[in-house]
Structure 1
Amino acid sequence: MGQPCHVRRHGYRNRDRYNKQKKQKYAIATGKIVPEITVAVPQNPAAILHLYRERKDAPLHAIAAELWVGGKQVAKVEPVHCLGWTGSQAKQYSKNILQSFSAQLEDCLLERFESQVELNPSQCPIRPCPLHPGMG
Structure 2
Amino acid sequence: MARAIAEKCRRCSKLPVDQAKLKECWVGQRCHVRRSSYKHRDRYNRNKKRKYQLQTGKLIPEVTVEVPVKPAAIRRMYRARRDAPLHAMSAELWIGQKRVAIVEPVHTLGWTNSDVTKYSRNILNRFSEHLDGKVLHQFDSQVEVDPSQCPIRPCPLFP
Normalising to structure 1: TM-score of the pair?
Answer: 0.74
Equivalent residue number for residue 137 of structure 2 = 111
Equivalent residue number for residue 84 of structure 1 = 110
2-structure distance, mates of 1:94, 1:115: 13
**Within 5 A, what are the aligned runs for 1:9-20?**
none
CA displacement 1:62-120 (0-9 Å, x = unmatched): 01000000011111000000010001100110111011000121232111111100000
Q: Post-superposition shift, 1:40?
A: 1.0
**Within 5 A, what are the aligned runs for 1:116-135?**
116-133=142-159
Equivalent residue number for residue 57 of structure 1 = 83
Equivalent residue number for residue 121 of structure 2 = 95
1-structure distance, mates of 2:145, 2:65: 34
Larger Rg: 1
Query: May I ask how many residue pairs the two structures share in their alignment?
Result: 107
2-structure distance, mates of 1:119, 1:27: 50
1-structure distance, mates of 2:54, 2:66: 26
Structure 1 residue runs without a partner (length 5+): 1-22
Q: Post-superposition shift, 1:37?
A: 1.1
Equivalent residue number for residue 27 of structure 1 = 57
- Percent identity between the two aligned chains: 59
Normalising to structure 2: TM-score of the pair?
Answer: 0.64
2-structure distance, mates of 1:34, 1:68: 34
* SS across alignment from 1:73: strand
Q: Which amino acid aligns with 2:137?
A: E
1-structure distance, mates of 2:60, 2:114: 54
Q: Which amino acid aligns with 2:139?
A: F
Structure 2 residue runs without a partner (length 5+): 1-52
